[in-house]
């Protein structure tokens, strides 16, 4: 097909290729939307809960005074929409597609004659690298915004360069050399300063890509190019130095990007690769445009797809994302969802085990089904405090549902303080407002609610609760706050991690309708393999609920009886349970693993084994 | 031309509709509901403007119109979403009215109607502040984990705040207990906790980084207080533990499994110990020197079994003589205030620099008073030996750590009176009879937004005579280097 020159921008391909290209863009957009809206929606919630974006001047000012602050502001503004996975997925789809489009446009400025599919397959390199890098949940939208802003800045620079190359890449001056030179430098210096403020160190993309752009200009002298490169790099260095004089961050953070990652002091390879590809790919476009085209696009596409398949499991680490899934369901109090998930994926980490136990307890199944899942001792029921956000919040949720409001308050507060990039959290502030209301700390609750009023997604909830506080009597009647108040222990003593069973007992004695506390109370000693304590706690429960006789209690009683050489009380232990114990005993004494396998997830096996 | 006329009429009508100036004002016989509550407070001339917001639970306050007139003349005006005064005008007003009253007239527009409240007064003290500003630590009121925190300084003449050091610079270290010598930051000490722990002692501007803890001392150097000579600095050695309450009234408890008091000699790099301040059965704590340097005040309690008997931890206020020439303590300890006798506990004794008083905090037990709602400020008159609760500045919530201005006419202290958790700074003046004026909340440019949105507590506040000129980059380099000077115990 004969090539025509059109609008100075490359070869006119058939109209069908144009539609195919649009179709590929659309398919990519749909895939990105689906990816974040369905299998990875929990990751959106994860990122949203690690920030507290407020629509106030104070909030903007708190970010505007640092390089990359505006990118963080925009990133956090957009991240708040992750609260609703449908909007969040649309945001991700929009940003990723925009990134791809900008890469495509920059390539076309570097190589106006490059065929569409070659350009697209090249543009997919930074796009896929960004996609894979985002598998790391520590990467924030700040990073993506910073990259997009820097790449867009590069594109604007090339546009503002007076379209001085025609379709064949030939130099077409539209003003005299001095004027052109002055304007180029002005754009570079202003662009560097502006972009460094807007995007932070990602603006190095602008510095290097515009330098490369100048280098691809065959008409410009080497001296001109060398001076441009020196001034561009010097200008960026000057900006970094000037900011370092007023920032209270180490220079290392400034170079890796304040706010790009949740963990500020880490250097990620993916970050460097994405930025490097944004610089290298336009240069490759200029090189590839001069080569025979036939095999470039399909080869590149094939290599990229293979690379994505290879790196995907490493980028989207299954273990990490399972924990994020659990956290998402704990946050939503989706107890059935957790149990279904645990039925499919055997929970084996402290967070997933404790979340599964909580879900089983909340659905009234813990005292029957606890050993259907892997157990981690009493710490799997109520994990000890660790300085980590998700674990703290999961444990905080356990305390909250139990009615240990002080401890819930502490764990949510500590979880928020453990957010590595010093952010606050909408999720935590919401829970802290609730715990303050339950504790009767209305002034404090009003403070938290006033903060949430400055958000988009928590505003209505905050206003409803502020109205509620104007009528304190209504708080006692509130379905959540009122019932939690009834659960709270009156006697004051200091929290002891080693004696949580005693607190569970206190909770049950305070409110015998606290079904979760009851289940935790009888399971706690079983998980400690302390059958004497179990018998003691069952006695406490039996005083108020004589008919309470769940499967685990039956199994434990049968086990105790057999262990002590006493007859199994048939009025309490059904025949099936007794038979099951006898079968297990035979299997255990046979020491035949295949015979024991069916009992691996039973109380009997747990009590005897030391796993 | 007609078009322009119509446009001008429309613009005029729009402006009139905005109603930014009070008209058809309805009078109500009550003080305006303002935040912060600046009614009848006493301020030093030259303080930052007392900007405030009018708040109402029932109505949305869209606009306020405020006029402030001085008894000695001069008038300033503010009209906006909240009362915001020009700094220079405010300074001129307060300077012109030293020892006089300012009368504040407030109109507020709520639900489209203007309301005029009763006027209120602000008293301008005849006593100057004579301090550049304040230093304080800002940190979330958490338990064991802390996020962003740092030590900051604030120009009291305006709203400028500067970090002295922030933990964002050093991988999330904790900084605490910054203390200058009688508000002069040429002598300064603060602690770094965590991986790069240290005690920074700055004498006449030169920094020394001491080892954070030592086996010889039985702990770290905590809660410092400078000897007026600048040669010595007293510390306690608190081995601190925390406990968390189960029931709803309280949150957190801090107690020491042991603590002694020591004095560090900055000239000889020696620790001065004394058997009367290093007892096994007792915990000595929170030392401070008298302004003449002849006495060391401290608190002491009988060591309890923790955490079981943490509520029995009750401190008395004591003193022991100190000879700065020999670096030796006296032979006996006097009890200045027997808190145990009234079943209470003393903490944070801070003598006024004129030698007249000791201001301390009293709580039911323990010494970490900020977590005790019942904590109140008490004033001990050193001439009469009588102590009284300073009800004029106390609140129903925790009123805790405090410090005096250099001229002993002003006190800054922390209080949780606003929301029960986040500590804010209040400043109060004291008259010749030892009576404090109504305290005022540290002014902010937009106080309502600032204090509501802030998720940080201010603590360990002190006045500072001049701006602290610590080179934070250099300090960070020293912290991260881990080069520390060990201290030695004086034989």
Q: What ipTM describes this predicted complex?
A: 0.93
Residue A216: the pLDDT is: 82
Region B151-159 average pLDDT:
97
Residue B446 DSSP symbol: S
Contacts with A57 from chain B: Cβ below 8 Å: 449
Tell the CATH topology of A320-487. Answer: 1.25.40
Do B164 and B97 share a structural domain? no
Highest mean pLDDT among A13-17, A289-293, B113-117: B113-117
Report the distance separating Cα B144 and Cα B242, nearest Å.
Answer: 8
Region A158-170 average pLDDT:
63
Contacts with B171 from chain A: Cβ below 8 Å: 265
Whether residue A471 lies within 8 A of chain B, CB to CB, comes out as no
Contact predicate B361/B378, CB 8 Å: yes
Region A185-194 average pLDDT:
94
Q: List C-alpha distances in Å: B59 to A334, A383, B63.
A: 39, 46, 12
What is the secondary structure of B328-388 as a DSSP string? EEEEEEEEEE-SGGGT-EEEEEEE-TTSSEEEEEEESSSS-GGG-TT-EEEEEETTT--EE
Residue B489 maps to a domain: no
Q: List C-alpha distances in Å: A436 to A433, A442, B244, B380, B452.
A: 5, 7, 16, 36, 15
Whether residue B477 lies within 8 A of chain A, CB to CB, comes out as no
Tell me the per-residue pLDDT of A98-115, one tens digit each, with 9 for 90 and over. Answer: 999 999 999 999 998 889
Residue A170: the pLDDT is: 60
Residue B486 maps to a domain: no
Q: Which two tokens stand for residue B173?
A: 């270290």
Contact predicate B78/B85, CB 8 Å: yes
Question: CB-based contacts of A14: which residues, under 8 Å, 6+ apart?
Answer: A1
CB atoms within 10 A of CB B159: 18
CB A422 to CB B148 under 8 A? yes
User: Radius of gyration of chain B from Cα atoms?
Assistant: 25
Do B224 and B91 share a structural domain? no
Task: Look at residue A505 and tell me whether its pLDDT is greater than 80.
Answer: yes
Do B111 and B225 share a structural domain? no
Residue B11 maps to a domain: no
Query: Which single residue is written with the structure tokens 């476009």?
Result: A285
pLDDT bin (cut points 50, 70, 90) of residue A8 is: very low
Report the distance separating Cα A73 and Cα A200, nearest Å.
Answer: 12
Region B27-38 average pLDDT:
96
pLDDT bin (cut points 50, 70, 90) of residue B379 is: very high
Whether residue A406 lies within 8 A of chain B, CB to CB, comes out as yes
Q: Which two tokens stand for residue B253?
A: 């408890």
Contacts with A489 from chain B: Cβ below 8 Å: 246-247
Region A440-451 average pLDDT:
96
Residue B27: the pLDDT is: 94
**CA-nearest residue of chain B to A53?**
B453
Region A185-203 average pLDDT:
96
CB A248 to CB B247 under 8 A? no
CB B247 to CB A488 under 8 A? yes
Contact predicate A371/A601, CB 8 Å: yes
HSE of A443 in the Cβ direction (CA atoms, 13 Å)?
Answer: 10
Vertex A466: Cα angle to A461 and A467 (nearest 5): 100
Task: Look at residue A460 and tell me whether its pLDDT is greater than 60.
Answer: yes
Instruction: Kindly list the domain boundaries of chain A, sorted by start residue.
Output: 15-315, 320-487, 549-611
**To the nearest whole percent, how much of chain A has pLDDT over 70?**
95
Residue B3 maps to a domain: no
The alpha-carbon gap from A422 to the nearest alpha carbon of chain B, in Å, equals 5
CB A58 to CB B171 under 8 A? no
Helix, strand or coil for residue A43? helix
User: Which of A171, A175, A185, A148 minimizes the C-alpha distance to A217?
Assistant: A171
pTM for the model stands at: 0.93
Whether residue B169 lies within 8 A of chain A, CB to CB, comes out as yes
What is the secondary structure of B233-282 as a DSSP string? EEEE--EEEEEEBSSTT--EEEEEEE--EEEEETTTTEEE--GGGS-SSE
Residue B237 maps to a domain: yes
Q: Which two tokens stand for residue B29?
A: 């016989």
Do B152 and B282 share a structural domain? yes
What is the secondary structure of B29-82 as a DSSP string? SS---EES--TT-EE-TTPPP--BEE--SSS-EEEEEEEEEETTS-EEEEEESS
pLDDT bin (cut points 50, 70, 90) of residue B1 is: very low
Do B195 and B105 share a structural domain? no
In terms of C-beta density within 10 A (0-12 exposed, 13-18 middle, 19 or more buried), how is residue A521 classed?
A: buried
Contacts with B251 from chain A: Cβ below 8 Å: 406, 409-410
Q: Which two tokens stand for residue B5?
A: 């006329």
Write phi, then psi, for B459 (nearest 5 degrees).
Answer: -145, 175
Mean per-residue pLDDT over chain A, rounded: 92
Residue B16 maps to a domain: no
Report the distance separating Cα B270 and Cα B200, nearest Å.
Answer: 15
Question: CB-based contacts of A125: which residues, under 8 Å, 6+ apart?
Answer: A277, A281, A300, A304
Report the distance separating Cα A177 and Cα B141, nearest Å.
Answer: 62
Write phi, then psi, for B95 (nearest 5 degrees).
Answer: -65, -40
Query: Which single residue is written with the structure tokens 């502030």?
Result: A429
The alpha-carbon gap from A563 to the nearest alpha carbon of chain B, in Å, equals 37
CA A384 from chain center: how many Å?
A: 23
SS3 content of chain B, % helix, strand, coil (to 5): 10, 45, 45
CB A59 to CB B145 under 8 A? no
Of B165, B247, B422, the CB nearest to A492: B247
Query: Which single residue is written with the structure tokens 């020196």?
Result: A230
User: Which of A541, A131, A123 minimizes the C-alpha distance to A309?
Assistant: A131
CB A494 to CB B243 under 8 A? yes
Residue A546: the pLDDT is: 94
Residue B7: the pLDDT is: 53
Do B427 and B305 share a structural domain? yes
Report the distance separating Cα A364 and Cα A361, nearest Å.
Answer: 5
Number of domains in chain B: 2
Report the distance separating Cα A540 and Cα A517, nearest Å.
Answer: 12
The alpha-carbon gap from B165 to the nearest alpha carbon of chain A, in Å, equals 8
The alpha-carbon gap from A256 to the nearest alpha carbon of chain B, in Å, equals 14
Whether residue A455 lies within 8 A of chain B, CB to CB, comes out as no
Task: Look at residue B439 and tell me whether its pLDDT is greater than 70.
Answer: yes
Q: Which residues of B367-380 are buried (b: 16+ CB within 10 A; e: fewer)?
A: bbbbbbbebbbbbb
Contact predicate B325/B332, CB 8 Å: no
Which stretches within A200-268 are classed as H helix?
A: 204-215, 222-244, 251-256
Contact predicate A149/A290, CB 8 Å: no
Report the distance separating Cα B181 and Cα B85, nearest Å.
Answer: 34
Q: Which of residues 304-333 of B touch A (CB under 8 A)?
A: 307, 310
> CATH number, domain at B110?
2.60.40
Highest mean pLDDT among A153-167, A417-431, B200-214: A417-431
pLDDT bin (cut points 50, 70, 90) of residue A150 is: very high
Residue B456 maps to a domain: yes
Query: What is the count of residue pairs from A and B with beta carbons less than 8 Å apart?
Result: 112
Task: Look at residue A470 and tell me whether its pLDDT is greater than 90.
Answer: no
Q: Which of residues 233-272 of A touch B (CB under 8 A)?
A: 248-250, 253, 264-265
Assign residue A409 a region (left: φ > 0; alpha: ψ between -120 and 50; beta: otherwise): alpha
Do B232 and B92 share a structural domain? no
H/E stretch holding A428? helix A426-438
Do B419 and B271 share a structural domain? yes
CB atoms within 10 A of CB A179: 12
pLDDT bin (cut points 50, 70, 90) of residue B5 is: low
Q: Which two tokens stand for residue B112?
A: 């489209």
Comparison of pLDDT for B218 and A38, the residue scoring more: A38
Contacts with B173 from chain A: Cβ below 8 Å: none
Of A248, A410, A490, the CB nearest to B143: A410
Tell me the per-residue pLDDT of B300-337, one tens digit each, with 9 for 90 and over. Answer: 999 998 888 999 999 999 999 999 999 999 999 999 99
Residue B303 maps to a domain: yes
Tell me the per-residue pLDDT of A225-248, one tens digit each, with 9 for 90 and over. Answer: 899 999 999 999 999 999 999 898
Write phi, then psi, for A505 (nearest 5 degrees).
Answer: -65, -40
Residue A260: the pLDDT is: 96
Contact predicate A407/A495, CB 8 Å: yes
Question: What are the beta bridge partners of residue B21?
Answer: none
In terms of C-beta density within 10 A (0-12 exposed, 13-18 middle, 19 or more buried), how is residue A299 classed?
A: exposed
Region A524-540 average pLDDT:
96
> What is the span of the domain harbouring residue B50?
25-124
Vertex B446: Cα angle to B443 and B447 (nearest 5): 50
Long-range contacts, stretch A311-314, CB < 8 angstroms, 24+ apart: A311/A132, A312/A132, A312/A135, A314/A135
Domain final residue, candidates B66, B99, B124: B124
CB atoms within 10 A of CB B391: 10
Q: Which two tokens stand for residue B155?
A: 């120009």
Do B162 and B83 share a structural domain? no
Report the distance separating Cα B264 and Cα B489, nearest Å.
Answer: 9
Whether residue A418 lies within 8 A of chain B, CB to CB, comes out as yes
Query: Which single residue is written with the structure tokens 């307890």?
Result: A361
Do B202 and B155 share a structural domain? yes
Q: B162, B248, B250, B254: which to substitute to probe chain A, counting the most A Cβ within 10 Å?
A: B248
Do B168 and B96 share a structural domain? no
Q: B37, B167, B453: which to substitute to probe chain A, counting the most A Cβ within 10 Å?
A: B453
Do B87 and B163 share a structural domain? no
Whether residue B60 lies within 8 A of chain A, CB to CB, comes out as no
User: Which of A184, A552, A535, A186 minimizes the C-alpha distance to A364?
Assistant: A552
């Amino acid at each position: 097909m004969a090539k025509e020159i059109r609008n100075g921008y490359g070869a006119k391909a058939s109209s069908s290729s144009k539609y195919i290209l649009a179709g590929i863009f659309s398919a990519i957009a749909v895939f990105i939307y689906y990816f974040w809206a369905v299998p990875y929606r929990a990751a959106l919630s994860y990122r949203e809960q690690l920030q507290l974006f407020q629509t106030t001047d104070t909030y903007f000012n708190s970010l505007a005074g640092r390089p990359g602050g505006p990118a963080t502001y925009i990133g956090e503004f957009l991240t708040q929409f992750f609260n609703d996975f449908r909007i969040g997925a649309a945001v991700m789809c929009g940003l990723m597609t925009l990134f791809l489009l900008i890469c495509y446009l920059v390539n076309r400025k570097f190589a106006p004659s490059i065929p569409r599919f070659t350009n697209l397959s090249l543009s997919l390199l930074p796009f896929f690298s960004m996609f894979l890098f985002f598998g790391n949940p520590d990467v924030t939208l700040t990073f993506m915004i910073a990259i997009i802003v820097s790449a867009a800045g590069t594109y604007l620079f090339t546009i503002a360069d007076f379209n001085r190359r025609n379709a064949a890449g030939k130099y077409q001056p539209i003003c005299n050399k001095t004027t052109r030179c002055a304007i180029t430098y002005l754009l570079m210096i202003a662009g560097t300063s502006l972009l460094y403020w807007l995007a932070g160190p990602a603006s190095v993309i602008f510095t290097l890509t515009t330098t490369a752009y100048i280098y691809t200009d065959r008409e410009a002298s080497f001296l001109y190019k060398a001076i441009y490169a020196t001034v561009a790099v010097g200008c960026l260095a000057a900006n970094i130095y000037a900011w370092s004089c007023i920032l209270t961050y180490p220079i290392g953070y400034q170079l890796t990007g304040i706010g790009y990652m949740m963990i500020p002091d880490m250097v990620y390879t993916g970050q460097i690769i994405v930025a490097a590809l944004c610089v290298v790919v336009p240069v490759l476009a200029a090189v590839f445009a001069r080569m025979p085209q036939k095999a470039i696009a399909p080869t590149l596409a094939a290599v990229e797809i293979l690379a994505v398949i290879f790196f995907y499991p490493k980028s989207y680490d299954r273990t990490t994302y399972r924990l994020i899934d659990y956290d998402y369901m704990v946050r939503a109090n989706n107890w059935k969802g957790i149990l279904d998930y645990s039925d499919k994926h055997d929970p084996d980490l402290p967070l997933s085990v404790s979340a599964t136990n909580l879900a089983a307890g909340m659905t009234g199944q813990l005292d029957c089904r606890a050993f259907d899942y892997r157990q981690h001792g009493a710490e799997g029921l109520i994990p000890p405090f660790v300085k980590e956000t998700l674990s703290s919040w999961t444990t905080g949720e356990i305390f909250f549902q139990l009615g240990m409001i002080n401890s819930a308050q502490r764990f949510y507060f500590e979880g928020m303080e453990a957010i590595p990039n010093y952010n606050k959290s909408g999720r935590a502030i919401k829970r802290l407002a609730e715990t303050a209301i339950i504790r009767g700390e209305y002034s404090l609750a009003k403070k938290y609610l006033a903060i949430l009023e400055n958000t988009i997604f928590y505003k209505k909830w905050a206003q409803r609760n502020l109205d509620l506080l104007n009528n304190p009597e209504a708080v006692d009647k509130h379905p959540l706050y009122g019932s939690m108040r009834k659960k709270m222990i009156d006697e004051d003593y200091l929290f002891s991690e080693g004696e949580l069973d005693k607190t569970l007992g206190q909770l049950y004695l305070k409110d015998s309708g606290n079904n979760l506390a009851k289940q935790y109370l009888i399971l706690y000693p079983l998980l400690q393999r302390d059958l004497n304590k179990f018998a003691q706690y069952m006695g406490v429960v039996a005083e108020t609920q004589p008919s309470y006789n769940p499967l685990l209690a039956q199994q434990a009683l049968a086990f105790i009886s057999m262990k002590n050489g006493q007859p199994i009380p048939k009025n309490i232990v059904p025949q099936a349970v007794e038979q099951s114990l006898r079968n297990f005993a035979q299997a255990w004494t046979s020491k035949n693993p295949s015979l024991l396998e069916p009992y691996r997830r039973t109380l009997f096996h747990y009590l005897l084994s030391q796993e | 031309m007609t078009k322009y006329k119509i446009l001008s009429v429309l613009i005029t009508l729009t402006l009139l509709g905005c109603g930014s100036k009070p008209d058809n004002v309805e009078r109500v016989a009550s003080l305006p509901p303002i935040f912060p509550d600046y009614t009848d407070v006493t301020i030093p001339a030259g303080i930052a403007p007392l900007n405030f917001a009018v708040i109402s639970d029932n109505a949305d306050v869209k606009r306020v119109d405020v006029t402030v007139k001085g008894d000695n003349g001069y008038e300033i005006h503010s009209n906006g979403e909240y009362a915001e005064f020009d700094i220079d005008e405010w300074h001129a007003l307060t300077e012109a009215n030293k020892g006089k009253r300012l009368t504040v007239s407030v109109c507020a527009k709520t639900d489209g109607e203007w309301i005029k409240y009763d006027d209120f007064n602000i008293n301008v003290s005849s006593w100057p502040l004579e301090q550049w500003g304040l230093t304080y630590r800002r940190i979330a009121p958490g338990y064991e984990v802390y996020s962003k925190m740092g030590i900051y300084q604030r120009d009291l003449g305006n709203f400028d705040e500067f970090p002295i050091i922030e933990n964002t610079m050093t991988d999330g270290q904790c900084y605490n207990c910054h203390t200058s010598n009688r508000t002069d930051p040429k002598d300064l000490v603060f602690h770094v906790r965590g991986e790069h722990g240290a005690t920074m002692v700055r004498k006449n501007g030169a920094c020394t980084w001491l080892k954070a803890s030592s086996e010889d001392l039985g702990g770290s150097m905590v809660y410092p207080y400078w000897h007026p000579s600048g040669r010595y600095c007293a510390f306690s050695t608190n081995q601190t533990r925390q406990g968390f309450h189960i029931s709803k009234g309280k949150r957190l408890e801090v107690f020491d499994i042991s603590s002694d008091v020591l004095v560090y000699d900055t000239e000889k790099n020696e620790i001065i110990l004394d058997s009367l301040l290093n007892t096994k059965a007792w915990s000595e704590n929170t030392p401070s020197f008298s302004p003449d340097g002849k006495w060391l005040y401290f608190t002491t309690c009988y060591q309890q079994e923790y955490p079981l008997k943490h509520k029995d931890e009750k401190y008395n206020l004591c003193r022991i003589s100190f000879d700065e020439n020999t670096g030796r303590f006296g032979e006996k300890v006097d009890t200045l205030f027997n808190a145990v006798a009234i079943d209470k506990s003393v903490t944070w004794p801070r003598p006024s620099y004129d030698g007249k008083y000791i201001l301390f905090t009293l709580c039911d037990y323990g010494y970490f008073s900020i977590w005790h709602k019942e904590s109140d400020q008490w004033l001990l008159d050193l001439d009469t030996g009588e102590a009284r609760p300073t009800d004029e500045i106390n609140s129903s919530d925790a009123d805790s750590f405090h410090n005096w201005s250099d001229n002993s006419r002003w006190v800054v202290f922390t209080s949780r009176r606003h929301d029960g958790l986040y500590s804010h700074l209040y400043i109060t003046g004291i008259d010749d009879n030892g009576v404090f004026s109504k305290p005022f909340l540290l002014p902010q440019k937009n106080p309502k937004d600032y204090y509501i949105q802030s998720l940080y507590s201010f603590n360990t506040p002190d006045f500072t005579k001049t701006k602290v000129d610590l080179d934070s980059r250099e300090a960070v380099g020293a912290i991260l280097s881990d080069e520390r000077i060990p201290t030695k115990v004086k034989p």
